[in-house]
């Protein structure tokens, strides 16, 4: 039976009160999407509100796009309509937009928690904000005691983003009991803790995708 993966994107397009546009980071969608398709996985895209999610304009030159990407983005399903039982894995793509709508989205928290009980949960970069609200079957934070990574405080500072953000992703993960390991800024860094897979930044997209495929093969 073909295994299925749900790729989740932000629906938030404003960078705080700066007036700058943001959204999801294109590379963090397209690189894993190609890898998953090449591995024979069935892939579906969803976003917090459904419909076409915003692309961070700073990321549009980072990678070539797939021929059908426009149609895929136009048709993303709203998270509230997604049944987690339909998927073997969930992949949370990053981009600064996730910092505003991923953490407190109840459908996302339920979906990640449900898939995390038997399947593979993966996040890259700011996509780890989608792990913050997820819990285990006992009600504990999904990340408590787990080794994870995500876009670091050092990287936020180098990107000039710190002051505009609603919180520090690195510190919020630590506050939930996660063991947060970060590498040098903007270098590929992937952490695997059982079926919980995380990557630090856009450069980690391919590595996280490979880890997801490996985890599904071993499942």
Residues with catalytic function: 125-126, 156
| Complete DSSP assignment for 84-138 | GGG-SEEEE---TTHHHHSTT-HHHHHHHHHHHTTSEEEEEGGGGGGGTT-B-TT
Three-state secondary structure call for residue 59? helix
Residue reference for tokens 């803790």 = 193
What angle (nearest 5°) sits at the alpha carbon of residue 50, between those of residues 198 and 192?
A: 10
Residues with Cβ < 8 Å from 24, sequence gap 6 or more? 9, 10, 53, 54, 55, 56, 59, 93, 94, 95, 97, 98
Q: Are strands 120-124 and 4-9 parallel, antiparallel or unpaired?
A: unpaired
Helices (DSSP H) in the chain: which residue ranges?
Answer: 27-38, 69-74, 98-101, 106-116, 153-158, 169-175, 205-218
């Amino acid at each position: 039976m073909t295994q299925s993966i749900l790729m989740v994107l932000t629906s938030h397009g404003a960078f705080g009160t700066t007036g700058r546009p943001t959204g999801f980071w294109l590379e963090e969608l397209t690189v894993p999407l190609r890898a998953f398709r090449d591995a024979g996985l069935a892939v579906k895209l969803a976003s917090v509100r459904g419909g076409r999610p915003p692309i961070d304009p700073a990321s549009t030159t980072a990678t070539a796009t797939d021929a059908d990407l426009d149609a895929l983005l136009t048709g993303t399903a709203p998270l509230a309509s997604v049944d987690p039982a339909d998927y073997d894995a969930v992949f949370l793509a990053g981009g600064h937009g996730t910092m505003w709508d991923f953490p407190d989205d109840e459908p996302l928290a339920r979906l990640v928690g449900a898939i995390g009980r038997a399947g593979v949960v993966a996040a890259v970069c700011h996509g780890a904000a989608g792990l913050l609200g997820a819990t285990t079957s006992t009600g504990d934070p999904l990340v408590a005691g787990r080794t994870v990574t995500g876009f670091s405080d050092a990287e936020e500072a180098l990107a000039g983003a710190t002051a505009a953000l609603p919180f520090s992703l690195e510190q919020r993960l630590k506050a939930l009991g996660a063991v947060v390991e970060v590498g040098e800024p903007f270098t590929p860094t992937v952490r695997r803790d059982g079926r919980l897979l995380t990557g630090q930044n856009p450069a980690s997209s391919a590595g996280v995708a490979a880890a997801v495929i490996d985890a599904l093969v071993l499942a």
